Amino acid sequence: MSNSLRAVRGMNDILPADSGLWGHFEATVRDWLRGYGYQEMRTPILEHTGLFKRAIGEVTDIVEKEMYTFVDDLNGESLTLRPEGTASCVRAVIEHNLLYDGGKRLWYTGPMFRHERPQKGRYRQFHQVGVEALGYATPDMDVELLLMTARLWKQLGLADSIRLEINSLGGAEARAAHRQKLIAYFQAHQAELDADAQRRLLTNPLRILDTKNPAMQALVDAAPSLMDELDDAARQHFDAVCQGLTDAGIAYRINPRLVRGLDYYNYTVFEWVTDKLGAQGTVCAGGRYDGLVAQLGGKPAPACGFAMGIERLLVMMAEAGLAPATPSPDVYLVNVGEAAGRYALQVAEALRDAGFIVLRHGGGGSFKSQMKKADASGAAWAVIVGDDEAAVGEVSFKPMRVEVAQQRLPLAQAIALMKEI
């Protein structure tokens, strides 16, 4: 196959062998969200580029180099494939005035797009489940978000391999004061900065703290801490979140260097991380973004939320052997002969009416080869029709997993008997 006809690099097909695990995950997530009163939101995959620039921040990796942006030839508008869901969700909330009668708990799922270097756990099209609680200012909501994620890890069987890191970014004033101190500190150590840090020094010095460069670890470890700048309100909010986690028995680590790659956060930020995925260890991340609704033109409203990377969680589940077995059909419908082929379609529908899951053999083939397929399908029953059965409205049927002789009966009687057994 020529390269130009293959899937785009970093964008994956989800094949039948994997879709069972996806379905299991999605069903678990839907139940879990219902348990917390969250309502689903679906927004377009394309948005105006300006939305993401404004929400995520001009000087972030996502906006500077990872967005799939193009000009719509028809009207010259700049559009972008969404790199995340919070901006779109908040846009829709404002556009449809969803906060008119108080806070809203919303969730979404779907593909997101970032032009990153693909590797295990990092893709250019990936999928998130995102959760946003809008209109709630108090720390109990931050705690509820963390309790609910902890519950999901349990439900998915991953609780032992995911741990929580949290931090507070304080309010705007604390960040401004910290920013000045950081710039001064890094300027005093300019020779030790790598190219990335040099570039960020005056634009986004907070992100230097997030560096993965081993040569800069000592430098960032000794950098001024944002924690020291928190005012009383921010400190109390953070203490209340920590207390809520302790009350609920959820272990956490305060990581003063946790800063996040999107600019909209204030106060609480957190990441759920694992050691099972190599470099791409963050499976879920989020925090408060109390300024974003107003920044995008809405009436000011506090908010917090998170998003998890579905592929990363599924890799963990598959590697831990937590993928559900592919369900087998109840009946494999063997049909040999032309009249039998037509009759088999009716038999299959009648069996489905009776509640059986039926895999009808398609495409002809000998009786022997069809019986082999019936066996391989894992079906509990083989229902067999030839032209003889078709002529008189009967079927032969045989349990595949126990030693019981094949029987031949009129269709309705066969169904009644199969339902009894």
Residues that bind ligand HAM (CB under 6 A): 84-86, 114, 116, 121-123, 126, 128, 130, 132, 261-262, 282-286, 289, 305-309, 311-312
Q: Hey, what are 10's tokens?
A: 């970093």
Q: Provide the minimum distance between the beta carbon of 290 and ligand HAM in the complex, in angstroms, as a whole number.
A: 11
Q: Hey, what are 102's tokens?
A: 């108080």
Q: Provide the minimum distance between the beta carbon of 260 and ligand HAM in the complex, in angstroms, as a whole number.
A: 7
Q: Provide the minimum distance between the beta carbon of 7 and ligand HAM in the complex, in angstroms, as a whole number.
A: 15
CB 104 within 8 A of CB 93: yes
Q: Provide the minimum distance between the beta carbon of 91 and ligand HAM in the complex, in angstroms, as a whole number.
A: 13
CB 351 within 8 A of CB 415: yes
Q: 92 or 183, CB closer to ligand HAM?
A: 92
Amino acid at 404: V
Q: Provide the minimum distance between the beta carbon of 38 and ligand HAM in the complex, in angstroms, as a whole number.
A: 13
Q: 136 or 186, CB closer to ligand HAM?
A: 136
CA distances from 310 to 3, 109, 167, 236, 281 (A): 27, 9, 24, 33, 13
Q: Provide the minimum distance between the beta carbon of 269 and ligand HAM in the complex, in angstroms, as a whole number.
A: 9
> Whole-angstrom Cα distance, residue 264 to residue 26?
28
SS3 (DSSP) at 409: strand
Residue nearest to ligand HAM (CB): 309
> Whole-angstrom Cα distance, residue 63 to residue 55?
10
CA nearest to 34, candidates 141, 152, 128: 152
Q: Provide the minimum distance between the beta carbon of 93 and ligand HAM in the complex, in angstroms, as a whole number.
A: 12
User: b vs e for 266-277, b when ≥16 Cβ sit within 10 Å of the residue's Cβ?
Assistant: bbbbbbbbbebb
Q: 178 or 312, CB closer to ligand HAM?
A: 312
CB 316 within 8 A of CB 158: yes
Q: CB 203: neighbour CB atoms within 10 A? A: 12
